[in-house]
Structure 1
């Protein structure tokens, strides 16, 4: 599958891209004619395709993350961490659990967490970072997510770890958090769910939630300029995986934080780590294929396998990547 994706990308680069804009314009007209019934009855979409009109905002997030905890456990492994891991050697991604633990420690260390501090974890996923920070760094954590499954899973995880009294999971938009300021804020792979104005609002809202002198750790998926072009042309990912996706360039992502008033302390490029993470997830999908089909159905299983393979190739050719940005709110 990876070889097929690479071959397609090479073809696109060499032959198709110069004609892509013209082709898409014609295709858009054709789609309009089909919708109007002027070219006969449109072919019904596959059941796994997202109804775009209804998948917006929280509905889009829930479509993706509330898919099935069993599915995510099979793909992600016991850590249930769905973001780029940090590997000892990205060229030899051997132990996914160790790589995810290393990522959690890196975030806590970059935020300089200490006992008694308050951490806001935006887009907290299934709770791994919040629980790790409370258990190993002694902080009080508020984790927010729009996915119901994640709140329930995170609460169970905190109870098993003995930190339920120091970790609160909320089914909430980050814009509804009003009990700041926090000593530190983490925002992990969530800004690609937002459009340009949404990312600007995110940066300003986070700035207001961090105390003067506090720190922000932003773990963001970013796209190269070429990757932004591919993003506009591709309909597969929004139709089957992420109903709303708008991956910014690295400059745009950092620019949002600076415009909000943050001072950037450091930026790290983890593109090769992101490729290695997707390779590990793809391997898990293939090794657990029968169980994944049972969990989500064959259509969705095939879509996710293709998505994982596409993501490996996109990282390898520098269409997408991940950056770790540490920023300060001036005291």
Structure 2
């Protein structure tokens, strides 16, 4: 089978890591692969390590529409917002079918070109139940399939892990890792830290990330010694190994790739009951869920986990079993079944 993957993002965030993980798995499965990617993206260098993958550099969705690019492809798999237009044009020009993987739980745009691109797709894939719900509202007649992301694994340097632990020695280390956008709930984390500052001084919060909200968040956290802004991190494997707990109190979330990654690394998680997060976390079984924006509940959950080793062990054991359902081998099989159905 020959699949053309398209991701035109210039950065390398969760969606690009998920694209790479699927391509790597499909290479192991014997697929022929083409990847249409933005030349500015670090994804390019990652893909060059996969011999089975032909790379097409494409700076904009209006470029690189030669027939030869997809002449031998069974279908196009879209992974990112702008890429859907590239697939639409290739479909209209050369009749190549395409599917779309949607990663965000926002309502779909009403723009005519966007609606046309979604309508012409052979199938729409949502990472979570909430994304499927949003797709169904705009495209009720489309073929909708839920296929989640898979956890990305990161290398771990034991020396760096020990450095982090030494820096926070004697602390129960809580991390919140995400781009600093308003919907990621960093304000909830800071307020939870404020509630715990006097009663639980041994609980330390590290905010891992950067973004346009950082300045206002730093102002909000002024005077709190139990909150540290660590900036964007490239060694998340070390942080997962060094931390005691991951929190992810987003107001909205497509699925929550960092939750999958933390659970796969053996780290317990508290998330918000928002977007696709409940698709991952079974409340009080494989983690904990709080109401979005409820900093008091977040603080209480953190405090209780800190004091209850039995509960912590229970959550870790169940999260390990839960995460197996999101393994890339399982997700790749679901995509393969969809590809074959569309191919006929």
Answer yes or no: same fold by TM over 0.5: no
Given the two structures, how large is their TM-score scaled by the length of structure 1? 0.30
The structure showing larger relative contact order (alpha-carbon pairs under 8 Å, at least 6 residues apart) is 1
User: Comparing both structures, which one devotes a greater share of its residues to helix?
Assistant: 1
Given the two structures, how large is their TM-score scaled by the length of structure 2? 0.29
